[in-house]
């Protein structure tokens, strides 16, 4: 810790005083880590059961340096952590890029320290400054500490009506996708139950739960590069919707990030082309 301040506050409990120790350490020019330790200093003669009823409490997190200083100088009534900013476990960012946000969170959730002293992890080299990320559970999005989007894999499967034979020529699509290092095979549980060998193989599989528009699908995860993700996110935001994170796959299509339209594998020029109503033709 590079800065430490102790303050006391009078308390009406048997003349006790609340000891508040504030420690902080800069992360970069705009961000700092803080740790606040609250401890009640009881005078002599206070029963032991009362002392044990009020144990030490610790509050840790990330905040702007000016907010920490204001709280330490009693010009701010409280100090709260920046919402969604967390120290991710080592390997989490790569897992999110390769497997997607939900799978990465499921894999590493027990390793997240939601209110802990992170400085020891930095000192030991366990954590890196780039592991400080904005973790947006609601949108399944990941951003770095400067709010720049980080790559997360996008799942393309029959459940989200993606690369299926209602919208694509699957033989042609398979040829294109098989050559793309960013495409990771991810067969559904139903497909794997029928054929376990599909675990690491990109293939055309039958769809169990479908409507009349499609019966087969190619299921995979798209692992974008950092540049890919920035381009996709910018496109998703350009649609002007309230929740741009729901537009990521449409952005991939409109940008032809997978090259399927350029290869003639897409049957439609619009993302929802196969679902759009067509006019009846009496001829």
DSSP string, 230-252: HHHHHHHHHT--S-GGGGHHHHH
Supply the pTM of this predicted model.
0.82
Please, which contacts does 72-79 make with residues 24 or more away whose CB atoms are closer than 8 Å? 72/5, 72/7, 72/22, 72/24, 74/7, 79/22, 79/34, 79/36
For the chain, give the percent of residues with pLDDT over 70.
85
Tens digit of pLDDT for each residue in 42-87? 777 667 776 676 777 888 889 999 999 999 888 998 899 999 998 8
Give residue-wise pLDDT tens across range 149-194.
Answer: 999 999 998 777 689 998 999 999 999 999 999 999 987 777 777 7
Q: Tell me: pLDDT of 146 over 50.
A: yes
Residues present in the chain in total:
283
Strands, E assignment, 126-173: 132-136, 141-144, 154-156
Is residue 17 over pLDDT 80? no
Domain boundaries, the chain: 3-72, 87-144, 154-271
Whether 13 shows a pLDDT value over 60: the answer reads no
The pLDDT assigned to 95 comes to 96
């Amino acid at each position: 810790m590079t800065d430490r301040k102790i303050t006391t506050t009078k308390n009406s409990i048997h003349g006790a005083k609340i000891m508040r120790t504030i420690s902080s350490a800069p992360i970069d020019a705009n961000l700092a880590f803080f740790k606040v330790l609250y401890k009640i200093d009881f005078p002599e003669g206070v029963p032991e059961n009362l002392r044990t009823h009020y144990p030490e409490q610790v509050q840790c997190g990330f905040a702007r340096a000016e907010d920490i200083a204001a709280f330490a100088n009693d010009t701010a009534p409280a100090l709260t952590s920046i919402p969604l900013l967390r120290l991710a476990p080592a390997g989490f960012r790569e897992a999110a890029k390769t497997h997607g946000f939900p799978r990465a969170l499921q894999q590493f959730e027990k390793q997240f320290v939601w209110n802990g002293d992170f400085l020891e992890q930095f000192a030991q080299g366990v954590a890196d400054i780039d592991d400080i990320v904005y973790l947006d559970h609601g949108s399944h999005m990941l951003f770095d500490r400067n709010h720049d989007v980080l790559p997360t894999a996008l799942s393309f499967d029959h459940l989200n009506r993606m690369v299926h034979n209602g919208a694509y020529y699957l033989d042609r699509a398979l040829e294109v996708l098989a050559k793309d290092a960013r495409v990771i095979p991810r067969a559904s549980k139903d497909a794997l139950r029928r054929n376990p060998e599909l675990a690491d193989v990109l293939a055309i599989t039958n769809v169990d739960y479908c409507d009349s528009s499609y019966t087969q699908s190619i299921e995979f995860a798209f692992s974008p590069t950092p540049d890919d993700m920035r381009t996709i996110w910018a496109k998703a935001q350009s649609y002007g919707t309230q929740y741009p994170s729901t537009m990521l796959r449409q952005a991939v299509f409109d940008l032809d990030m997978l090259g399927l339209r350029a290869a003639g594998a897409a049957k439609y020029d619009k993302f929802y082309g196969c679902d759009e109503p067509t006019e009846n033709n009496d001829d």
